C-alpha cells in the first residue's frame, strides 16, 4: 500500500508542536539567537516525486553544519578516495568543536562532519578552485535544482568575528601540516558554507540525491557514484549528530545531519529525504523537536533502515 506521507506529517506535526518547549536557540551569534524559537516545519521529498510538507516548511533558515555534507560531496566527487588521507571516518564521540582529540590525533580530524573535518574539506576546495565559494554554490544550486540558493553574508561575517574555537582548530591543524591554504581564505569558505540558507522543502529536495544512489531524481544524472552516496550516508549515520550520533541512530534509524540553525535532514535510501526545522537545541546542539518528529516518523511508519 502507498504511504500517505502528507497525512502522516500533518498528524506528527500537530502532536509534536504542542509538546513542552525544551532547549534553547543557538546563542553564539546574534543572527541565530534572534530567531523565533516557535518556528516549526517539516517537508518530505520522495524519490517517486511525491512532495509533502507542513508548517514553516517553505521558510528559509541557516543550514549551518548541514552544509558540511554538501561541501564533502563536492570534494569527494573531485578528489575521490585520497580525501580520506586527511580526514577519518570514525565517530568522534565529542562535541562538534572539541579540540583535545584533534591534538591527541596529530591534526587529523575524526570525520568530515565535525568542525575540524569540515574545515579540512574547505581547505581541499580552496586548493581545487580559484573561487571555491562560487563553485560550491553552483554545485548546491545544481543538486537542489534551485538557482536562488545563497549564503547570508551577515551570518558568515558574524561567525567569523566570534569563531574563536574554530580559529583554534584550524591553527592547530595548520601546525600539524593538515591545512595547505591561508587560514583566512579557508575560514571564509567554511563560514559562508555554514551560512547557506534553505527551507525544509529545499533541503529535502537537495538531499534526495543521497536517497537516489547519487543521481538527481529530476534528470537521472549521476552527481556521485552509488558507492560514494552509500559512504556519505554511512558517515551521516555514524557522525552526523556528533556525541549524540548513537542516541539519534537508536531513536531515528536513518542517516541524517543536524545544524545549529535548528535544521535536521534525514535520508531513507531508496525512498525519501525529510527535513525538519525547529530552532530550540538540546545540549549537544541538535534540534529537540526535530529529533522528536523524526523519531515518531520512523516509529509510526516502521520505515527505518534497521
Ligand atoms: N557554524 C557553526 C560552527 O562553526 C556550525 C556548527 C553546527 O551547526 N553544529 O560552529
The closest residue, in CA terms, to atom 3 on ligand 1 is: 115
In this prediction, residue 300 carries a pLDDT of 85
Picking from 152, 154, 157, the residue whose alpha carbon sits closest to that of residue 137 is 152
User: Does the CB atom of residue 259 touch ligand 1 within 6 A?
Assistant: yes
In this prediction, residue 126 carries a pLDDT of 98
- How much distance in Å is there from the Cα of 185 to the middle of ligand 1? 18
**DSSP three-state, residue 211:** helix
Give the helix/strand (H/E) hosting 198. Answer: strand 196-198
pLDDT band, residue 306 (cuts 50/70/90): confident
The answer to whether the beta carbons of residues 70 and 139 sit under 8 Å apart is: yes
From the options 3.30.720.200, 1.10.1500.10, 1.10.10.60, 3.30.750.210, give the CATH code of 82-194.
1.10.1500.10
pLDDT band, residue 1 (cuts 50/70/90): low
For residue 253, how far is the Cα from the chain centroid?
A: 16
Residue 196 pLDDT greater than 80, yes or no: yes
Instruction: Count Cβ atoms within 10 A of the Cβ of residue 201 and give its class: 0-12 exposed, 13-18 middle, 19 or more buried.
Output: buried
In this prediction, residue 289 carries a pLDDT of 97
In this prediction, residue 260 carries a pLDDT of 96
Residue 301 pLDDT greater than 90, yes or no: no
- How much distance in Å is there from the Cα of 166 to the middle of ligand 1? 9
Domain boundaries, the chain: 5-64+196-301, 82-194
Q: What is the CA radius of gyration of the chain?
A: 18
pLDDT band, residue 202 (cuts 50/70/90): very high
> Higher-confidence residue: 3 or 69?
69
What percentage of the chain carries pLDDT values higher than 70?
100
pTM of the predicted protein model: 0.97
Distance between CA atoms of residues 270 and 252, nearest Å = 17
When pLDDT is averaged across residues 287-292 and rounded to a whole number, the result is 97
In this prediction, residue 304 carries a pLDDT of 78
Residue 57 pLDDT greater than 90, yes or no: yes
pLDDT band, residue 28 (cuts 50/70/90): confident
The answer to whether the beta carbons of residues 31 and 25 sit under 8 Å apart is: no
- Domain 5-64+196-301's class? alpha beta
In this prediction, residue 303 carries a pLDDT of 78
- Residue-wise pLDDT for 215-235, tens only, equals 999 999 999 999 999 999 999
- How much distance in Å is there from the Cα of 67 to the middle of ligand 1? 10
- Residue-wise pLDDT for 250-261, tens only, equals 999 999 999 999
Distance between CA atoms of residues 19 and 11, nearest Å = 13
Mean pLDDT over the full length of the chain: 96
E strands in 163-258: 196-198, 256-258
**What are the beta bridge partners of residue 54?**
42
Residue 53 pLDDT greater than 80, yes or no: yes
- Residue-wise pLDDT for 59-112, tens only, equals 999 999 999 999 999 999 999 999 999 999 999 999 999 999 999 999 999 999
Q: What are phi and psi of 230, to 5 degrees?
A: -60, -45
User: Does the CB atom of residue 166 touch ligand 1 within 6 A?
Assistant: yes
Joined together, the cell numbers standing for residue 272 give: 525519501
Mutation test residue for ligand 1: of 62, 95, 96, 241, the one with most atoms within 8 Å of CB: 96
- How much distance in Å is there from the Cα of 218 to the middle of ligand 1? 31
User: Does the CB atom of residue 260 touch ligand 1 within 6 A?
Assistant: yes
Distance between CA atoms of residues 222 and 98, nearest Å = 35
Amino acid at each position: 500500500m502507498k504511504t500517505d506521507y502528507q497525512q502522516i506529517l500533518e498528524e506528527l506535526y500537530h502532536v509534536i508542536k504542542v509538546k513542552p518547549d525544551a532547549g534553547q536557540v543557538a546563542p553564539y551569534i546574534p543572527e541565530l539567537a534572534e530567531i523565533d524559537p516557535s518556528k516549526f516545519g517539516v517537508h518530505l521529498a520522495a524519490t517517486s516525486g511525491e512532495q509533502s510538507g507542513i508548517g514553516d516548511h517553505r521558510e528559509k533558515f541557516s543550514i549551518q553544519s548541514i552544509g558540511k555534507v554538501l561541501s564533502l560531496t563536492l570534494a569527494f566527487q573531485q578528489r575521490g578516495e585520497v580525501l580520506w588521507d586527511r580526514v577519518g571516518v570514525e565517530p568522534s564521540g565529542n562535541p562538534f568543536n572539541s579540540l583535545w582529540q584533534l591534538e591527541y590525533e596529530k591534526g587529523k580530524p575524526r570525520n568530515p562532519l565535525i568542525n575540524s573535518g569540515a574545515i579540512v574539506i574547505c581547505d581541499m576546495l580552496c586548493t581545487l578552485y580559484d573561487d571555491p565559494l562560487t563553485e560550491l554554490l553552483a554545485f548546491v544550486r545544481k543538486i537542489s535544482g534551485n538557482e536562488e540558493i545563497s549564503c547570508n553574508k551577515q551570518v558568515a561575517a558574524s561567525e567569523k568575528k566570534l569563531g574563536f574555537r574554530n580559529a583554534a582548530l584550524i591553527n592547530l591543524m595548520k601546525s600539524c601540516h593538515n591545512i595547505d591554504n591561508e587560514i583566512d581564505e579557508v575560514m571564509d569558505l567554511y563560514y559562508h558554507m555554514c551560512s547557506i540558507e534553505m527551507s525544509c522543502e529545499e533541503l529535502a529536495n537537495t538531499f534526495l540525491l543521497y536517497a537516489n544512489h547519487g543521481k538527481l531524481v529530476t534528470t537521472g544524472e549521476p552527481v556521485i557514484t552509488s558507492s560514494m552516496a552509500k559512504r556519505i550516508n554511512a558517515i551521516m549515520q555514524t557522525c552526523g549528530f556528533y556525541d549524540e550520533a548513537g542516541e539519534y541512530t537508536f531513536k531515528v534509524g536513518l542517516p541524517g545531519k543536524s545544524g545549529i540553525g535548528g535544521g535536521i535532514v534525514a535520508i531513507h535510501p531508496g525512498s525519501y529525504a525529510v527535513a525538519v526545522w525547529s530552532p530550540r537545541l538540546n545540549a549537544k546542539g541538535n534540534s529537540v523537536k526535530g529529533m522528536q518528529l523524526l523519531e515518531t516518523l520512523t516509529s509510526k511508519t516502521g520505515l527505518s533502515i534497521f
